[in-house]
A = this chain, B = another copy of it.
Amino acid sequence: MTKQIVTPSILPGFMELLPADQIVFNNMLDTIKKNYEKYGFIPVDTPMIEKSEVLLAKGGGETEKQIYRFNKGDNDLSLRFDLTVPLARFVAQHFGELTFPFKRYHIGKVFRGEKPQKGRFREFYQCDIDIIGNESLSVINDAEILSVIYSTFKALGFDDFTIRINNRKILNGFFESIKVSDKTEVLRTIDKLEKIGNEAVAAELKTIGLSDKDANSVLRFVGIKGSCNEILKSLKELGIENDTFAEGVKELEEVLNYIAAFKVPVANYTVDLTIARGLDYYTGTIYETILNQYPSIGSVCSGGRYDNLAQNYTNKKLPGVGISIGLTRLFYQLRAAGVVGGTKKATTSKILVIPMQETMAQSLELSTKLREADIPTEIYFNEGKMGKKFSYADKLGIPYVIVVGEDEVKAGKFKLKNMETGEQIELELEQIIEKLKS
């Protein structure tokens, strides 16, 4: 019988990394996780497979088409397509056992069967935080979330990024004040502002039914620019008499006051009245985050405030505020832009121990001692030429190598070779441990 060989390959739209990139990716995940924990967020890990009736309780929309849904036995199952729906289900289900405000982080893969295209993935990591209140939740939390975005991107090594802030109540109140019937259409038109300019937008706004006055009003509104304080001033001067609008402006003002107290630098945030983040979910503060040197990536961290997290699963009112970082896509884009990756280091080992045939036992002992001192240590077991052994360290990017010969064992001193500089220094084991720990 001839053995049948199946060509090893993965599906299009799925990301798989080689070790060097995987290490960079994992470091980013760890950085995000540590930062979320620094703000007191608690880990949650929900099943990847849930009942379709639960995941699709909200129903409708693009999501339902993209979802991976299937049967097993009598069960109608779906793979989770985000971490927000599972959070809503989790909080409703375990309500009595949770402490509120409930601050959770969740880092995990989600699945969407989108048409494969460059930079879009069918399986990708989301890194989410949400703060869920029981009945009510102070707007200061919206500022804290901003502070988390800031510190997370700083920790990831970015300096030049801008968190764009808006408030859905300002948008809604404004549209109410000019009695726009189809907000979606207006927002879609506004989105073209940069591309087609003021006049063309005004024309389109009229086509969709706005009066001259209202179209001008819209243009004046989205044309409001300046520092946070200038924008607040301009908003108040618009003279819009609408409660929702007034509330939105008040919330925005509070968020801006608090964010200053969190010591987020003014350079890293701005008010942008044109961002909307969809229409049906968010109800207050909304966020987008732009890497200023890579604007084409789009928002790398988005989210906002919502009134009612779990209305499909409970009658309890659970307002919340949260954000999500889509790390798989972000990593892909950053790698394409040459910002991350391209490193040779394909291991986290700090030292390679090369034993000789006659010093194997001593080499194993020595390696055990290094590991007991928390130093990631590899031993090269294959026989062969010394060059090949050093080349192993070189290929993986292991920074130090020692060769354990009989003389070294007798003297209790080992030549520690720095693989980058080629420098060799003779040290006792304790000294090696000290050097590698620092």
Q: Are B9 and A54 in contact (CB under 8 A)?
A: yes
Indicate if A118 sits at the interface (CB-CB under 8 A).
Answer: no
Identify the stretch in A34-42, A177-185, A240-248 within 8 Å (CB) of chain B at 4 or more residues. Answer: A34-42
Q: Are B113 and A379 in contact (CB under 8 A)?
A: no
Chain B residues with CB below 8 A from A295, complex form: none
User: Given A6-B312, A258-B360, A347-B40, do A51 and B382 touch, yes or no (CB 8 Å)?
Assistant: no
Q: Are A70 and B68 in contact (CB under 8 A)?
A: yes
Q: Are B18 and A97 in contact (CB under 8 A)?
A: yes
Indicate if A138 sits at the interface (CB-CB under 8 A).
Answer: yes
Q: Copy number of this protein in the oligomer?
A: 2
- The distance from the CB of A14 to the nearest CB of chain B, in whole angstroms, is 4
Within 8 A of B (CB), among A109-160: 109, 111, 113, 122-123, 133, 136-138, 140-141, 143-144, 147, 151
User: Given A46-B16, A361-B261, A365-B263, do A381 and B141 touch, yes or no (CB 8 Å)?
Assistant: yes
Within 8 A of B (CB), among A239-283: 257-258, 260-263
Query: Which of B45, B99, B315, B382 is in CB contact (< 8 Å) with A396?
Result: B99
Q: From A46, A49, A92, A137, name the one whose CB has the most chain B CB atoms within 10 angstroms.
A: A49
Indicate if A408 sits at the interface (CB-CB under 8 A).
Answer: no
Identify the closest chain B residue to A93 (Cβ): B8
User: Given A49-B123, A144-B379, do A348 and B258 touch, yes or no (CB 8 Å)?
Assistant: no
Query: Which of B19, B90, B365, B392 is in CB contact (< 8 Å) with A16?
Result: B90
Bound together, the chains give a CA A258 to CA B10 distance in angstroms of 39
Bound together, the chains give a CA A5 to CA B97 distance in angstroms of 20
Q: Are B371 and A38 in contact (CB under 8 A)?
A: yes
Q: Are A5 and B262 in contact (CB under 8 A)?
A: no
Q: Are B5 and A94 in contact (CB under 8 A)?
A: no
Chain B residues with CB below 8 A from A122, complex form: 49
Identify the closest chain B residue to A140 (Cβ): B381
Identify the closest chain B residue to A42 (Cβ): B19
Interface string of A7-28 (1 = CB under 8 A from B): 1111100111111001101100
Within 8 A of B (CB), among A84-101: 88-90, 92-94, 97-99, 101
Indicate if A103 sits at the interface (CB-CB under 8 A).
Answer: yes
User: Given A39-B378, A377-B39, A378-B39, do A51 and B11 touch, yes or no (CB 8 Å)?
Assistant: yes
- The distance from the CB of A15 to the nearest CB of chain B, in whole angstroms, is 8
Query: Which of B10, B15, B383, B392 is in CB contact (< 8 Å) with A99?
Result: B392
Chain B residues with CB below 8 A from A368, complex form: 147, 262-263
Bound together, the chains give a CA A257 to CA B48 distance in angstroms of 44
Query: Which of B11, B48, B88, B262 is in CB contact (< 8 Å) with A123?
Result: B48
Chain B residues with CB below 8 A from A346, complex form: 42, 99
Within 8 A of B (CB), among A377-407: 377-379, 381-383, 392, 395-396
Pick 21 A–B contacts, CB within 8 A, sort by A.
A5-B313, A8-B54, A9-B54, A10-B89, A18-B97, A19-B44, A23-B42, A23-B43, A38-B371, A40-B347, A40-B379, A47-B123, A49-B79, A68-B72, A69-B70, A99-B396, A101-B382, A137-B382, A138-B382, A262-B365, A263-B364
A residues lining the B interface (CB < 8 Å): 3-11, 14-19, 22-23, 25-26, 37-40, 42-51, 53-54, 57, 68-73, 75, 77, 79, 88-90, 92-94, 97-99, 101, 103-104, 109, 111, 113, 122-123, 133, 136-138, 140-141, 143-144, 147, 151, 257-258, 260-263, 310-315, 346-349, 360-362, 364-365, 367-368, 371, 374-379, 381-383, 392, 395-396
